[in-house]
Amino acid sequence: MATRILKDIENLGPVLAAIHQSCFTGKGAWSSQTFEELMAFSTHYLCVDFQNDQTVSGFILYNVVMDQSEIITLAVLPDFRRKGIAANMIDAMLCALIQQKVHCSFLEVNQDNEPAIGLYLRCGYAKIGQRLHYYGHGQHADIMSKKLES
């Protein structure tokens, strides 16, 4: 297993879209084109987990603007969950952010997504607020952040 930070989407658009589809049902899933458009921004990065056979098991799409970063989306294939992959990817991303002199990482997470909230808390994120109806009527988001030390 290897985790890599990528600045270029390479040929991963369809793979990322398939993984996202397996994690976010309905209108929440993104297309390959969406990933390609997002990665066209100079501020966006991918943290990708490759298994030994080069299968992509998960990824984080995040951005960096000045000294702040935001996790835009994180997805791990269902068969690879509960194996530490998401935590390893977050750790790799945070190490890269520290090297880039980023001081704070932010994210939004659905308040109903207890496994994700638990993961972020274990990785040192703390709730700092909420966004009402962020994911639609009655679906609120917690805003979380983590200060980074170099």
Architecture of the domain whose range is 2-147: 3-Layer(aba) Sandwich (3.40)
Q: Structural domain boundaries of the chain?
A: 2-147
Is residue 150 over pLDDT 80?
A: no
Cα distance from N-terminal residue to C-terminal residue, the chain? 26
Q: What is the pLDDT of residues 74-114, one digit of tens each?
A: 999 999 999 999 999 999 999 999 999 999 999 999 999 99
pLDDT of residue 27: 66
Question: Hey, what are 113's tokens?
Answer: 């997504």
pLDDT of residue 116: 95
Planar angle of CA 15, 16, 18, nearest 5 degrees: 65
Average pLDDT in the chain: 93
Q: What is the pLDDT of residues 16-74, one digit of tens each?
A: 999 999 998 766 789 999 999 999 999 999 999 999 878 999 999 999 999 999 999 99
